[in-house]
Amino acid sequence: MLKNAVALTASLLFYAWGGINFLALFLGSVVLNFYLIRLMDAALGWQKRIYLILSILLNVGMLFYFKYANFFLENVSGLSTALGGAELTWEKVVLPIGISFFTFEKLTYSIDVYRGVNKPLRSFWDFMLYIMLFPKMIAGPIVRFHEIAEQLTDRAAFETVDHKLAGLFRFVLGLAKKVLIANTLGQEADRIFGLAPAELSAPLAWLGAVCYTFQIYFDFSGYSDMAIGLGRMIGFQFPENFNNPYISRSITEFWQRWHITLGRWMRDYLYIPLGGNRVSTGRLYANLWTVFILSGFWHGAAWNFIAWGAFHGLFLVLDRLFLLRLSKRLGPLSILPTFLITVVGWVLFRAESLGEAQAYIQQMFVGSWVALPYFTMEFWYTLLLATLFSFIAAVPLIERGQLGVLAASSWSRGRMLALSMVTALLLVLSTSYIIGSNFNPFIYFRF
């Protein structure tokens, strides 16, 4: 009870610190959802369904308003001016932090209760804690209600020193991935993506895309590791969100390893309700594509995100048509073409607009082949490390070892000592990089 109160207070403070303006709105939404679902649980037949629809409309409506209003108005305005009409003017809607994850988690709560997977929580505070639990608030993983329902009331099994140490290690590992690798590569990726297409040679464009490919992985999986680690330290078991995605041998496998909780969410709450695999082949492909286009749109309100979703949807369809058979024949070699497909996909994701993405991808394939400009040794070493850590799990023994370390719930003394030393080293290194990154003194100031 007390632990939940502390965790909830910390979560509210965390959210308020990031955007106090939206706190009241979110609290109102949480209250409304809680009572709506209680009513739904008590209702029968069509009334139950009405409450579910109301809940979905409420949550999806909020998401659409805050995340997509600007996008739709921009496009309507563009269409209007193209047809000779007047340009629309409106006050831009500000995106509240964490709204995408909030929405998905509120939806899982109502759908799980509707499906009878779980009974609704009796305590409003427990429900609020589930929605607002701070470690997963900003970047996930998306925790489905039934995955955490029991832990909200009883976490005794996970509150051991082994879990806390493993949690601390996981947190520090995530921090190091973010600070030591993602930030360094991100700096160069930003520089390269900031260049005009004419300044981009093909090798430089590929280098920028690869940098971003590693940046987004180490950044996002780093955040997930931190969330999982913090969760373990306070007794929660969050689901895994990444499992060495760049060793995937197909895009289908990639989505089983990348942002796993989103993939599962899409499967359980979107793909299966659309009919899943139990439909005609044509419908199956259409469903797959729809789900991935929506997934892309969920990532960001812009055409390039939709294109990114469509791009992955296309390869999922191609996988089913023939690519999976081809990758089976290629064996481990299929990791490379799969990786290259994801690299091109990330350009769609990273570019500021669809037009920019198109220009960038064009340079990757038809740009001039001139030598790369100078990059520091720091950059090359970091890229090397990123490559190593991204692909090393392609060796099955290493992948099994990694999973053994990350998923273990009790540790031998020797292993714990070794892990603690690695944790201490990474923590000091990461802290020094965080503190030092804002300290770049001038030799002389304004002289």
Partner 1 sequence: MKHILFFLLFLLLVGPALQAKYHWVEEPTLAGAYHVSEHPSLSVEALTSGTYQAQLENYLEDRIGFRTWLIQLRNQLSFSFLGVARSTDLVIGNNVLFQQGPVDAYLGKDFMGEAEIQRRVRRMRIVQDDLAKRGIPFLFMMAPNKGRYQPEDLPYWTLKQKQPLSNYEVFVREMKANQVNLLDFCQLFARWKDTTAYALFPSGGTHWSAYGSTLAADTLFKRIEKLGSFDLIDFRRTGPMEVSQNEVRGTDGDLSGPLNLLFGYKHYPMAYPHIVFDPLRPPQQQPNMLVSGDSFGAALMQFNPYFQTLFSPIPATGAWKEPFSGLPPSRPKRARSWTSWISARRLSPGSSSWFSLRSTTCPTRNSSTSSTTSTIPSPTPTGPASTRSKPS
Residues 108, 113, 119, 121, CA torsion sign: positive
Looking at the Cβ atoms of 161 and 279, the one nearer to partner 1 is: 161
Residue 320 DSSP symbol: I
Looking at the Cβ atoms of 247 and 419, the one nearer to partner 1 is: 419
Task: Tell me how many residues contact partner 1 (CB under 8 A).
Answer: 40
- CB 268 → partner 1: shortest distance, Å? 35
Looking at the Cβ atoms of 256 and 420, the one nearer to partner 1 is: 420
Residues 218, 141, 346, 275, CA torsion sign: positive
Annotated catalytic, 312? no
- CB 137 → partner 1: shortest distance, Å? 15
Is there a contact between 254 and 338 (Cβ–Cβ < 8 Å)?
A: yes
Sole window of 14-22, 105-113, 195-203, 291-299 interacting with partner 1 (rule: CB under 8 A): 14-22
User: In this chain, which of 5, 13, 50, 417 binds partner 1, going by CB under 8 A?
Assistant: 417
411 binds partner 1 (CB under 8 A): yes
Is there a contact between 372 and 200 (Cβ–Cβ < 8 Å)?
A: no
Sole window of 12-20, 71-79, 129-137, 260-268 interacting with partner 1 (rule: CB under 8 A): 12-20
For tokens 């797959």, name the residue: 288
445 binds partner 1 (CB under 8 A): yes
The two three-digit tokens of residue 202, written as one number: 């093909």
Sole window of 25-33, 54-62, 130-138, 408-416 interacting with partner 1 (rule: CB under 8 A): 408-416
94 exposure class (CB count in 10 Å sphere: 0-12, 13-18, 19+): exposed
- CB 428 → partner 1: shortest distance, Å? 7
Angle between helices 161-176 and 413-437 (to 10 degrees): 40
443 binds partner 1 (CB under 8 A): yes
403 exposure class (CB count in 10 Å sphere: 0-12, 13-18, 19+): middle
Is there a contact between 133 and 232 (Cβ–Cβ < 8 Å)?
A: no
The two three-digit tokens of residue 207, written as one number: 């280098």
- CB 197 → partner 1: shortest distance, Å? 23
Main-chain phi, psi angles of 117, to 5 degrees: -65, -40
Question: CA-to-CA distance for 432 and 171, rounded, in angstroms?
Answer: 16
Looking at the Cβ atoms of 90 and 380, the one nearer to partner 1 is: 380
Sole window of 67-75, 306-314, 361-369, 424-432 interacting with partner 1 (rule: CB under 8 A): 424-432
Residues near partner 1, by CB under 8 A: 17-21, 161-162, 164-165, 168, 374, 376-378, 381, 411, 413, 416-417, 420, 423-424, 427-429, 431-433, 435-436, 438-447
**Catalytic annotation, residues:** 299
